[in-house]
Amino acid sequence: MPRIEESALPGVGVRYEFKTDDGRRIGVVHHRTGRRELFVCEPDDTDAAVVNMSLSDEESHALSEALGGSTVVANLANLQQQVEGLAIDWLSIAPGSPYAGKTIADARIRTRSGVSVVAVLRSGETFPSPDPGFAIEPGDTLVVVGTPDGIKQTQEILRTG
């Protein structure tokens, strides 16, 4: 994950920014009024923002929702509290797992245990709602939702096949 730099803007608010792989600066200014300002810089002049966009509280949430990532997981944690009998767990893939290098479909997790894989966490990155063709790698963490028994079963499947 890129390192997010934080800088104080006295009298204005706080700014969070990072550099993308193609060398552009992108970030958000949190105004003290609660308004967020999204800005994007161009690769040839990273000092100046070329796109500025103001977002309200709700719009910021909508955008982060659309971008996916950790909010999906956070929402699931909420969901778990609301629905009785539903469990959520984080299962890591050991190097010796028979499904390391195979796809989610290969493991037939849903068919065998009724559990859904809702996200895959890989070296700090989140892949929300992975396709059945998503290849699992050793070291990945699967975020799964299902019954507590189903999750135990899934753990077994991932370990021994």
The terminus-to-terminus CA distance of the chain in angstroms comes to 31
Q: How far is the CB of 33 from another protein (least distance, A)?
A: 7
Helices (H), the chain: 57-67, 70-82, 104-107, 109-113, 148-160
Nearer to another protein, 24 or 110 (CB): 24
Give me the residue label for tokens 């809702």: 118
Asked if 45 touches another protein (CB under 8 A), the answer is yes
Q: Which of 2, 4, 9, 105 binds another protein (CB under 8 A)?
A: 9
Q: Which of 4, 51, 67, 105 binds another protein (CB under 8 A)?
A: 51
| H/E element, 114 | none
In this structure, the strands spanning 116-122 and 87-92 are unpaired
Residues that bind another protein (CB under 8 A): 7-12, 15, 17, 25, 27, 29, 31-33, 37, 39, 41, 45-56, 59
